[in-house]
Structure 1
Amino acid sequence: MLNGHMIDPRLRTLRVLQQEGTVTAAADVLHLTPSTVSQQLRGLAKDLGVQLLEAQGRRVRLTPAAYTVLDHADALCSQWERAQADLAEHRRGGFGQVRFAAVSSALAALVTPAAARLREEHPRLTVRMAEEESEKVFSLLLARRTDIAVVIPTADGPPPDDPRFDQRPLLDEPQDLLVAPDHPLAGGGAVRLADAAREPWIGSPGRPDQHQVMITACAAAGFTPRIAHHANDWFAVSAMVAEGFGIAIVPRLAPLPPGDQVVRVPLRGEPVPSRRIITCVRWGSDRQPPIAHGLEALRRAAAERRARGRPR
């Protein structure tokens, strides 16, 4: 596949710079040096005859001309994705590659089963998987370093109508309260989040999407959680909870240690805390057979998770 090489690669560099905000960050995503990124953008500006960047202290700012170029670049890239999909219809044999990037819980519970299904049903299709936080995957899509992102929408992410991306709901995932086995809330069935208002909490600031779910859910229940400890790994969170250092909100898909070290307690009330998991691809790329197969496998994996209901 040509993978976008028919379009000036410097336009991709400009798109990633817009998403990342700094030359250094864009260079990191593109696996280039900052000087190479700057050189590409200077060359593009010279060829177009317009100024694309303005110095702003030690940073750079996109000019109005740059935003005009980006509007056209978005349209060109979306049209090229559709062109590749149309051309793929003329090829036979089921060859190709699809790359997934996902937050850890979705990688374990949705992407891996989907990849296993693809391996069985499309053995000539190469599948790649990577764990990534939600805020990074959009730049990876633009840089063509991944094809399908499975993420949690955040306030800093692109809006649903962003012309660069096709974002679709995959699964609404309830949140559970995680407590120690001897905790008063452990044995009485579903509880209201407000019942835990006076408890110490385990926060996960290194997982901005999940941390924001906790803060928002507690606020909706009428309180601000007293965060006593921080941990990002679910096994670390579970260890703290098991020893009575606090409680936590965990997504239904989060992998926890086996055995009875901790107890998931379902939450009730209106609304029940949940987080939405979405798929995101480059606009127009969903018709390309490898990506279409990947999205279909994800939808089937999500349907199976819904059918299983609540874990222990």
Structure 2
Amino acid sequence: MKVLQAIARHGTVTAAAEVCRLTPSAVSHQMQALARELDVVLLEHVGRTVRLTPAAHTLLGHGAALTAQWERARADLATHRGSELTGSLRLCGFSTAAAVVAPRALTRLRDEHPGLRVQLRETEPARAFDLLAAGDTDIAVVVATPSIPSRTDPAFEQQPLYLEPLDLLVGPEHRLAGAATISLADVAAEPWILGTPGRAYHQLVTLACTSAGFDPAVAHYADEWDTGAALVARGFGVALVPRLADLPAHHDTRRIPVTGVPVPARHVLTAVRAGSGDQPAVAAGLDALAWVSTTELPELAEPR
């Protein structure tokens, strides 16, 4: 079922094999065996991709319900253990969340539940859902982008965590370097520095620019804040940076809050496997993340 879910998310046997740590031939063999056992056709080949049949979608619906029920059973069983929280809790998150938000949540968990083992993994939002589905992580902190499953996906439970504004980053000699605020329309004709196409940051900035009425003219691609800030500082373009991004001090840049409707921002969510949110360790982790986002992040309201 996990393999079939991976095929449904990624659309190809090869991609599903990669996330499931199997060979493509092993994935094909598993799907053929499952189809024979159930006496239904599950996959139809369409060029280089595969399409799930109606029978496969029916099976996925039942599989999601069964998985969620098992997670709820684990939560119920936890009530028969002692009151002290033990075991392990694994979190994953994208770069800024992994650097700024999650470590504070882990510190709170360590202080309040010393018997709980915690682990953090940095990963892209789309990959985080593969880790959740495979049982390799328990809580994911993700950015809402088109590349992640929809909020209606029955395999996961997603909840808003915080809204993070995006600031414009310009160099010290830029014509707008002294501005108190800026509208994205004012920099529509500028060269832009974006992340790699397909990644969350690229999607986020592109959406913010198109919402402001223009397609950004991409001059450079940079996935690391150090690289992007270096290019901006030397006048090679402008960029949008999340409010919580910690930029290197050795690059001379200026952050300018962006105004307009809507203000460009990224919606940060927590995601867990459906039915697992009431498990004591997972619930404690979600509470710690919520506490950090509401009490320890004044940067979300005031520019850094």
Q: Is this a same-fold pair by TM over 0.5?
A: yes
Distance change in 2, residues 1:25/1:287 (3 Å) = same
Cross-structure match for 1:166? 157
Cross-structure match for 2:74? 84
Is 1:21 equivalent to 2:11 in the alignment?
yes
- 1:206, distance to aligned residue in structure 2 (A): 4.5
- 1:171, distance to aligned residue in structure 2 (A): 0.6
Cross-structure match for 2:98? 107
- Equivalent position SS for 1:211: helix
- Equivalent position SS for 2:51: strand
Which string of whole-angstrom CA distances, capped at 9 and with x for unpartnered residues, describes residues 159-216 of structure 1?
2122111111001000000011232222231122222223211121346322222222
Which string of whole-angstrom CA distances, capped at 9 and with x for unpartnered residues, describes residues 108-165 of structure 1?
1111211121122212211121111122222221111111111111223322122111
Compare 59-68 and 146-155 and name the one that shifted more.
59-68
Which string of whole-angstrom CA distances, capped at 9 and with x for unpartnered residues, describes residues 84-104 of structure 1?
111111112421211112110
- Equivalent position SS for 2:97: helix
Cross-structure match for 2:271? 280
Cross-structure match for 2:177? 186
Matches within 5 A, 1:188-227: 188-206=179-197, 208-227=199-218
Q: Please point out which of 60, 83, 92 is paired with 2:50.
A: 60
- Equivalent position SS for 2:277: helix
2:204 and 2:255 map into 1 onto residues whose CA distance is 17
TM-score by length of 2: 0.93
CA RMSD of aligned residues (A): 1.8
1:52 and 1:223 map into 2 onto residues whose CA distance is 42
- 8 A Cα contact 1:285 1:291, kept in partner: yes
Q: Please point out which of 266, 291, 310 is paired with 2:302.
A: 310
Distance change in 2, residues 1:304/1:182 (3 Å) = farther
2:9 and 2:138 map into 1 onto residues whose CA distance is 17
Q: Please point out which of 20, 25, 31 is paired with 1:30.
A: 20
Matches within 5 A, 1:246-261: 246-258=237-249, 261=252
- 1:295, distance to aligned residue in structure 2 (A): 0.6
- 8 A Cα contact 1:207 1:232, kept in partner: no
**Identical positions, percent:** 49
2:116 and 2:11 map into 1 onto residues whose CA distance is 35
Is 1:228 equivalent to 2:219 in the alignment?
yes
1:193 and 1:181 map into 2 onto residues whose CA distance is 18
- Equivalent position SS for 1:195: helix
- 8 A Cα contact 2:12 2:48, kept in partner: no
- 8 A Cα contact 1:180 1:263, kept in partner: yes
Cross-structure match for 1:299? 290
- 1:56, distance to aligned residue in structure 2 (A): 3.4
- 8 A Cα contact 1:165 1:281, kept in partner: yes
- 8 A Cα contact 1:181 1:260, kept in partner: no
Matched to 2:185, the amino acid is A
Is 1:125 equivalent to 2:116 in the alignment?
yes
Matched to 1:191, the amino acid is I
Matches within 5 A, 1:266-277: 266-277=257-268
- 1:230, distance to aligned residue in structure 2 (A): 1.2
